[in-house]
Structure 1
Amino acid sequence: MEDEQVVKILLCCSSGFTTSYFAQRLNEAAKQLSLDYEFDATSYFDLYSRAEGYDMILIAPQIGYMLKKFKKALPKKRVCQIPTSLFASYNTGATFSFIQEQLKEYRQQSQEKNSLFSDCRLDCPMHQETVLAIAELYDGNSIQVYIHIYKKGEVLFDDVVIKPNFQKVVLFDLIQYALGQVEGVDLIVLAVPGIIKEGTIIDFPQRGLKNYPMKKRIEERFHIKTTLINNTNAIALGFAYLHPEHEIVTYHSQPYGRAMGGQGTVVHQNLINGISGISGEIKFFLPRMQFSNELARLAKTDFGTQEIVTNALLPTISLIGPDIIVLRAPLINDLEELKKRIATFIPCDAMPEIVMIEDIKPFLFRGIAEYACSFLQETE
């Protein structure tokens, strides 16, 4: 159900000059061959700020030593080094073949990763309901909407829909589509961004929602019991469930190129929502803190993102004292450097363990499963 679209490819070299010429040649050849490719070029200084709008990154051989760093910083992109023979000869035909091979391999790897989180069972022996779970994730480039249907605890159906922004995601249409796949859905669970209280989206500016009774509207339209959870909270809950050795877990999400992230905290397997669901909403204090530059500028670089994440985590560490912080921050390449920065403020014996995760979907759907089970037990 993924939208068909032109594959946008960004070429990158030291200054952007040689790749600009190659990009021009590739665009001309793609047009002649009716290929759905669109090429552009940039210098490696501007790569992070421009990569968001592209599906694939091709770096020139002269900066091949930076390939590993770029891959880590851009985990949602296919980042490859152009073979020297192709770049030196500007061989467009062979380059198209190289691109097709790389995209095919990347899609296969993505399918394998998706199969890992499709194993998230709804381990709730007291209930045999059929549950529809819909989760939204934002990776800095697009909105990915994951759809799971559980029947007697097993994943019966899964799909993914990709949209450019939240305005293009029509949840009611997606629910209608999902309900057409399986009969007899007993519960709908939505894991979405925003401040959520008792099924009402208190605040979600990206979608223009404020005090919107989402639960009520869905139940009125589809006549199916519905519940909502913040997606960051679901990830925190899933990690805590899979790692019961930790008493207090905080998950921090810092989307690629974005100043505002979010946090979710679980204490002794219990999710902390706070009054009116405000827990973890760092947007209320982060802009008022002191930074070395504008937040929007800092969010475009590794060093700047470290500064943002440090300032976002310090209040949490000081007030809640988690024993582990789970971090999703694609632009941060050096986790040890981040730890050193935080350690300049926090005593050594109070420093939490900090781990970085790349694939959050297993934790997201584990958290949704746990939340659904709790909801079913409370409402039986």
Structure 2
Amino acid sequence: MTAYSQEEFREWILEQKNDLYEIKEDDHQIILDAGYAAASIVFHDMNIIELIIQNAADGLNRFYLHFQLNEKDHAQSLFKEMQNTLIGLEGHHTLNVMLSCSSALTTSFFAENLQQAADSMGLDYHFEAVSYNRLYEKGSEADVILLAPQIGFELEKVKEAFHHRVVLVIPAKIFAQYNAYEMIAEIRNQISERSSETKEHNIEITANDAVILVVAVINRRDGKRYGYRVYDHGEIVMDGEVIKPNMTLQDLEDIITTCYVRYSNIDIVGLALPGTAAYGELDYPELGFHHINIEEYFAERFPMRFYLVNDTNAAVAGYHIDHQEDIFTAFLYIPDNMLIPGVGIMQRKDIIKGKNGFAGEVGSYFRYLYPDESKLNNLPLKTVLTDTLMAIICVFAPDKVVINCRQYPFVEDLKAELEKYIDRAFMPEIEITWHMKHYMMPGMVIQCLDYLNHEKVKRRLREMHKPDKQNKR
């Protein structure tokens, strides 16, 4: 079969006209400009194609992937997926700005002024005012949160609760004059600064003799984020991210292919994925993974080894490396778009996986506690966290619990609730972290190195027990 060329793909894309967007092109890329967002198809060397959708309102990527161009049907299906995502963003691209004061009265007037100013500037912004006591209930719907000067003292608490949103106090002078245009300029500056923030430092990995590709999938409100990284003898030589609506085997295969084209000496691929993982099998029914042997699937397609680990188990291993603490640690993770947490548990240097990798999968526990599905789906997040923490502390009594839950960062509130039932002498240290990928990547590297070392030991043992044919003669 003849490989599908970049020229053929480019010509086909130019034929995919739609009233919703304007097609532009230059030597290296094609742009589908829809006004509210733009999709870019970028053509690179080695037949690598990059697909990106950037939202105009906040400058953030809503879709991102790259793949090696080979098969026609595969390339066209990925383009169609990007095209559908771009079209689907119509009506969902508005930048939502939430203003808050003690009663929402004064901010309601300012919200009206801001809306009129944004409309006159051709900006697709939506402004809404809520009282402070409703902010924690409604704030997750906003992209930007503005606090009136009179409640400015709550800034740090609100920033903690909505860590991944722009949160700022309206300057007193702007608020007093209801200067909508100056406030909008400040909002745009804050969004621009946030988009250009530097990433957190990478956890150092001890030099080793392996080349390892790690792929970690993280649930986010805007879809699935596939982080990938190649470690060459402990040094990061490739680092990137793909944003897709869902997690599929084909998406994982595209990432592995792209990395393998550049680094054909990869020894092992570590996959840190959501769901129950054991003996190479992944069970994640919500996304259509019913006990699929991921390791075998990819081993049939690539000439290297594969090792599958649950996402929170990889995270707790990475946390252990970063902090170098010889303690009993639990890592509790609630994704943005889910209510039920997953838990990774590490006793000193060993991850507790349990029978068939089921340890830490607390979904069944919650379905037992709340058999009424409607009640379960409407549980307050604080209840979910305290119920999970009670189970972890009473069964395992860890030294520390690390929580990654961007919607509820109030540690002191959780401690106060737990201390009604648990003596302080048995209460673990509770810590909040915002960085899932930061821990998953190095944690997966260590898991891969342990796996490779274990394989070496098994080979040596087999060689030691081989019958000596020469002596038998």
Residues 379 and 3 of structure 1, relative CA distance in 2, 3 Å threshold:
farther
Report if aligned partners of 1:261, 1:282 keep a CA contact under 8 Å in 2: yes
Residues 26 and 195 of structure 1, relative CA distance in 2, 3 Å threshold:
farther
Q: CA deviation at 1:168?
A: 11
Q: Secondary structure at the match of 2:412?
A: helix
TM-score, reference length from structure 1: 0.84
Residues 168 and 377 of structure 1, relative CA distance in 2, 3 Å threshold:
closer
TM-score, reference length from structure 2: 0.68
- For residue 112 of structure 2, the aligned residue among 16, 21, 37 is 21
- For residue 57 of structure 1, the aligned residue among 139, 145, 150 is 145
Residues 368 and 96 of structure 1, relative CA distance in 2, 3 Å threshold:
same
- Pairing 1:250–2:334 present: no
Q: CA deviation at 1:329?
A: 2.6
Report if aligned partners of 1:52, 1:141 keep a CA contact under 8 Å in 2: no
- For residue 403 of structure 2, the aligned residue among 327, 344, 350 is 327
1:238-282 alpha-carbon deviations (Å, 9 max, x no partner): 222334444321111133474211101011211111111111001
CA distance in 2, matches of 1:61, 1:141: 31
Q: Match of 2:170?
A: 82
Q: Match of 2:453?
A: 377
Q: Match of 1:233?
A: 313
Structure 1's unaligned 5+ residue stretches are: 299-303
Aligned partner letter, 1:236: V
Residues 284 and 267 of structure 1, relative CA distance in 2, 3 Å threshold:
same
Q: CA deviation at 1:46?
A: 4.6
1:152-185 alpha-carbon deviations (Å, 9 max, x no partner): 2100011123345547992222333333443432
- For residue 255 of structure 2, the aligned residue among 174, 184, 202 is 174
Q: Secondary structure at the match of 1:159?
A: strand
Residues 210 and 264 of structure 1, relative CA distance in 2, 3 Å threshold:
same
Q: CA deviation at 1:105?
A: 1.9
In our comparison, the structure showing a higher alpha carbon Rg is: 2
- For residue 5 of structure 1, the aligned residue among 31, 55, 58 is 55
- For residue 203 of structure 1, the aligned residue among 284, 288, 291 is 284
Q: Number of paired residues?
A: 362
Q: CA deviation at 1:61?
A: 3.7
- For residue 160 of structure 1, the aligned residue among 241, 250, 253 is 241
Report if aligned partners of 2:112, 2:127 keep a CA contact under 8 Å in 1: no
Matches within 5 A, 1:1-380: 3-6=53-56, 7=58, 8-14=95-101, 15=104, 17-18=108-109, 20-31=111-122, 37-43=124-130, 44-89=132-177, 91-109=179-197, 111-113=198-200, 116-117=201-202, 119-121=203-205, 123=206, 125=208, 127=209, 129-166=210-247, 170-205=251-286, 207-256=287-336, 258-289=338-369, 294-298=375-379, 304-380=380-456
Residues 257 and 153 of structure 1, relative CA distance in 2, 3 Å threshold:
closer
Aligned partner letter, 1:25: Q
CA distance in 1, matches of 2:211, 2:438: 20
Structure 2's unaligned 5+ residue stretches are: 1-49, 59-94, 457-473
CA distance in 1, matches of 2:296, 2:167: 44
Residues 56 and 171 of structure 1, relative CA distance in 2, 3 Å threshold:
farther
Report if aligned partners of 2:328, 2:400 keep a CA contact under 8 Å in 1: yes
CA distance in 2, matches of 1:181, 1:29: 49
Between 146-155 and 222-231, report the one with greater CA deviation: 222-231
Q: Secondary structure at the match of 2:54?
A: coil
Report if aligned partners of 1:27, 1:38 keep a CA contact under 8 Å in 2: yes
Between 181-190 and 58-67, report the one with greater CA deviation: 58-67
* % identity of equivalent residues: 24
Report if aligned partners of 1:11, 1:19 keep a CA contact under 8 Å in 2: no
CA distance in 1, matches of 2:134, 2:250: 30
RMSD: 2.9
Between 316-325 and 264-273, report the one with greater CA deviation: 316-325
CA distance in 2, matches of 1:11, 1:259: 23
Report if aligned partners of 1:143, 1:165 keep a CA contact under 8 Å in 2: yes
Residues 214 and 257 of structure 1, relative CA distance in 2, 3 Å threshold:
closer
Higher relative contact order (CA 8 A, sep 6+): 1
Residues 161 and 18 of structure 1, relative CA distance in 2, 3 Å threshold:
farther
Report if aligned partners of 1:195, 1:204 keep a CA contact under 8 Å in 2: no
CA distance in 1, matches of 2:376, 2:151: 29
